[in-house]
Amino acid sequence: MPYAPYEFMLRIDAVNYDPHEERRVSARLGRAPINISSGVNFLPPPPPLLAAFRRGLRAPTFRSQYDGPHGHIISRTAVSMYECAVSERGLVIDDHNVVVTTGVSMAMHVLGVHLAARMPGAEVLVPAPTFPLAGAALAAAGLRVREVLHDGDGRLLPTPEELMRAASRGTRLLFLNLFNNPTGECYPEAELATLLAWAREDDLLVLVDKVSVDLVEPGTAPNVLDIACAAGALDHVVVVSSLSKERALPGLRIGWMIAPRPLAEELGRINGLACMSSVGACASLLFVDMLCRAAARLGAGGAGPAASQAAVAERFVARAARWAPLAPGLGDFLDAYRDPDRLARAVRGFASWHRTLLATLDRNLAALTRTFDQEIVLGGARSGGFNVFVRVPRLDAVDPYAFAVRLFRRHGVQILPGPSFADADALRRRRPGFWTRISFAMELEALIDGMAKMLRFAGEYGA
């Protein structure tokens, strides 16, 4: 069954993101369109990762081999090692628990196909508003998607109690998005523990999309796998993530799933039908990302004892090196991260990039709310990520699709209104007014200019 928010988004995309339309608008205005609702991190990616990608292309193992339906072994090794390294509850997983995919949407669809085959007609609960491709990927796989909206003030996401009340006999899956896209909200640890305990008791699966979880200070976001360990619910959790949002690398299409081993085996087989090999060239980049992320976090943000960073790197390199006899060029690639000076530069560069990114996001959001505080209303309490869901009161009476298309064609500003993130009728009942996602991981001048153009046109619209 078609998923209404995704269908609405596609209607917008067919005009506002059509390359031919964009070219015509750009030619008329003498500039590129300004996208203030992209959901994309337009800021520069980490230099150490780009260097790792270039270096990895010289190793045949990353470019000259199919790596199988579960994904490149170095990617799987890196993801599992990182999660174990940052766990405070002694999490034990390995590469058998990881499946590499071409992004998070593919990962969710693969899980949906598995569940729909085993439990025809199964239902998934989706807290709304949320990322439209989540519901779309699960619906396209054959699951019944039920959105749950909060009925009250103070937050946009439904409470655990609202989610549990919404469940039916057919509910087999709960989707969670940390941090929520578009609201930036996050379920606190106590609420996550409640939901995971419910999943264990009622034999549900919880699908957690944590693509934005690193867009806060290291260690401050809830660790879902640790919470699941404490709740005795690790066998009821599937975590998906990617480098698209956090590292500004959506074009490389690298995502992954972490699941209980028997489930991961089955998900790998399904994944192989859609994409027999992951993007092997990205395995080098993912390995260095996880290494630097762990070393920076455990080594005091990249400024801590070099010995601590070296110890983290040594464990990563030693585990990956086990595959060197089967992976041409892997040994030479890993040698760069055995050198203490090169390692320290990479970790410092990564940590510096991360601090700069967070400072830029804080600055941009502060400027956005300060400049337009009389004209927009922020929904929910943002905890992280680079999106906010805002209401524009002067547009409350207008048709969101018509306004978005006319704004683009007239002024070259691209937005994605509220019906892209929740069923339009349900959103209208619970959250009346004109809502849109604002993504602020971009140059501040362009963000302010795009917002100003949208609000000026709002004053003219329909006049």
DSSP 359-397: HHHHHHHHHHHHHTTTT-EEES---SSSEEEEE-GGGTT
pLDDT band with cut points at 50, 70 and 90 for residue 306: low
d(CA 188, CA 236) in angstroms, rounded, equals 19
Average pLDDT over residues 22-42: 95
Token digits of residue 89: 């509850």
**Would 222 be classed as within a structural domain?**
yes
> H or E segment at 460?
helix 444-460
**Would 321 be classed as within a structural domain?**
no
The per-residue DSSP string of 135-193 comes to HHHHHHTTPEEEEE---SSS-SSPPHHHHHHH--TTEEEEEEESS-TTT-----HHHHH
Q: Which residues pair with 218 in a beta bridge?
A: none
**Would 298 be classed as within a structural domain?**
no
The domain in which residue 205 lies consists of 65-291
Q: Which residues pair with 176 in a beta bridge?
A: 208
Q: Which residues pair with 379 in a beta bridge?
A: 389
pLDDT at 461: 80
**Would 19 be classed as within a structural domain?**
yes
pLDDT at 266: 97
Average pLDDT score, the chain:
94
Which one, of 393, 388, 395, lies nearest residue 375 by Cα? 393
**Would 251 be classed as within a structural domain?**
yes
The per-residue DSSP string of 69-85 comes to TT--HHHHHHHHHHHHH
The SS3 of residue 352 is helix
For residues 100 and 26, state if they share a domain. Answer: no
Alpha carbon 60 to chain centroid distance?
A: 30
Report which residue type is found at 304: G
Q: Is the pLDDT of residue 52 over 80?
A: yes
Q: Is the pLDDT of residue 304 over 60?
A: no
Which one, of 12, 248, 252, 249, lies nearest residue 132 by Cα? 12
Which one, of 14, 43, 137, lies nearest residue 414 by Cα? 14
For residues 33 and 70, state if they share a domain. Answer: no
pLDDT at 275: 80
* Strand residues in 23-110 grouped as ranges (E): 34-35, 98-101
**Would 299 be classed as within a structural domain?**
no
For residues 258 and 402, state if they share a domain. Answer: no
For residues 37 and 438, the answer to whether their CB atoms sit within 8 Å is: yes
Instruction: For the sheet with 255-258, list strands across it.
Output: 98-101, 255-258, 237-242, 205-209, 171-177, 123-127, 144-148
Q: Is the pLDDT of residue 272 over 80?
A: yes
Q: Quote the radius of gyration of the chain (alpha carbons, Å).
A: 22
For residues 162 and 283, state if they share a domain. Answer: yes
- Mind listing the pLDDT tens digit for each residue in 115-152? 999 999 999 999 999 999 999 999 999 999 999 999 99
For residues 91 and 146, state if they share a domain. Answer: yes
Token digits of residue 371: 């400049």
Last residue of a domain, one of 257, 291, 325: 291
Question: How many folded domains does the chain comprise?
Answer: 2
Alpha carbon 168 to chain centroid distance?
A: 28
Q: Is the pLDDT of residue 463 over 70?
A: no
For residues 330 and 321, the answer to whether their CB atoms sit within 8 Å is: yes
Average pLDDT over residues 405-417: 98
Kindly report the CATH number assigned to the domain that includes residue 414: 3.90.1150.10
For residues 141 and 268, state if they share a domain. Answer: yes
For residues 284 and 202, state if they share a domain. Answer: yes
Last residue of a domain, one of 291, 312, 345: 291
- Which residues, including other chains, have CB under 8 Å from residue 460's CB and lie 6 or more apart? none
For residues 263 and 395, state if they share a domain. Answer: no
- Mind listing the pLDDT tens digit for each residue in 168-209? 999 999 999 999 999 999 999 999 999 999 999 999 999 999
- Which residues, including other chains, have CB under 8 Å from residue 205's CB and lie 6 or more apart? 115, 172, 173, 174, 199, 236, 237, 238
DSSP structure class, residue 45? P
d(CA 437, CA 35) in angstroms, rounded, equals 11
Last residue of a domain, one of 249, 276, 291: 291
pLDDT at 201: 98
For residues 133 and 279, state if they share a domain. Answer: yes
For residues 136 and 253, state if they share a domain. Answer: yes
**Would 309 be classed as within a structural domain?**
no
* Cis before 250? omega within 30: no
Alpha-carbon distances, residue 428 vs 21, 397, 448 (angstroms): 30, 11, 27
Report which residue type is found at 109: H
High-pLDDT (> 90) share of the chain, %? 82
CB atoms within 10 A of CB 388: 22
For the chain, the distance separating the N- and C-terminal CA atoms, rounded to the nearest angstrom, is 39
Q: Are strands 34-35 and 413-414 parallel, antiparallel or unpaired?
A: parallel
For residues 264 and 386, state if they share a domain. Answer: no
For residues 27 and 100, state if they share a domain. Answer: no
pLDDT at 302: 46
For residues 406 and 381, the answer to whether their CB atoms sit within 8 Å is: no
d(CA 208, CA 224) in angstroms, rounded, equals 8
Kindly report the CATH number assigned to the domain that includes residue 81: 3.40.640.10
**Would 17 be classed as within a structural domain?**
yes
pLDDT band with cut points at 50, 70 and 90 for residue 252: confident
How wide is the angle at C-alpha 188 spanned by C-alphas 95 and 147, nearest 5°? 85
